[in-house]
Amino acid sequence: MSRPLASLALAAALAVSACAPRYVAPELGIADTQGPYRLASGDKLRIIVFGQDNLSNVYAVDGTGRISMPLIGAVDAQGRTTQQLERAIEGRLRGGFLREPKVSVEVDAYRPFFVLGEVTNSGQFPFVNGMTVQTAVAIAGGFTPRGQRDWAEVTRQIDGQTVTGAVPITYPVQPGDTIVIKERWF
């Protein structure tokens, strides 16, 4: 192949590869996180203290990652599982308030997720289990005519670090994710 023809072929290959979907490699850490759900700011928790109706209620995890309960005050919830929070509340109640406290913690409402970019209605939306990027876009009113329909950028907190990666449209969404739909070139 002649030199100018090879340069033209290389330029064409680069242009086509730039249009291909960009998916994140699993080693970047944005792949599905395994294990139990970790609590964070924005979650609402239904806490039941058996036999203590005045302590049982729905509590919001505040901006500092804590919940505030009567008698025991602020309890750290950030990064804990519901089972770990149950044990922490039981321990605090056992310290001078109740003999044998039994506590149940469940997520009443997950923290919201966000959709930005080339969607009809950007904003904050309530999380629903089993969501993918595609269903999140549908909740946001669908793609604009210029919206990239094959992949999106997802930003997520993983082990205290903010991680952003390009993912396929079928990628699962987690509470607190920020999804950005980019503009397509053609």
- pLDDT number for residue 22: 53
Say which residues have a Cβ less than 8 Å from residue 15's Cβ, sequence separation at least 6. Answer: none
- pLDDT number for residue 13: 40
pLDDT surpasses 60 at 109 = yes
Q: Which domains does the chain have, with CATH numbers?
A: 44-109 (3.30.1950.10), 111-181 (3.10.560.10)
- pLDDT number for residue 24: 54
Dihedral of the alpha carbons of 94, 97, 99, 101, in degrees to the nearest 10: -60
Strands 123-125 and 161-168: what pairing? unpaired
Element spanning 177, H or E = none
> In residues, how long is the chain?
186
pLDDT surpasses 80 at 28 = no
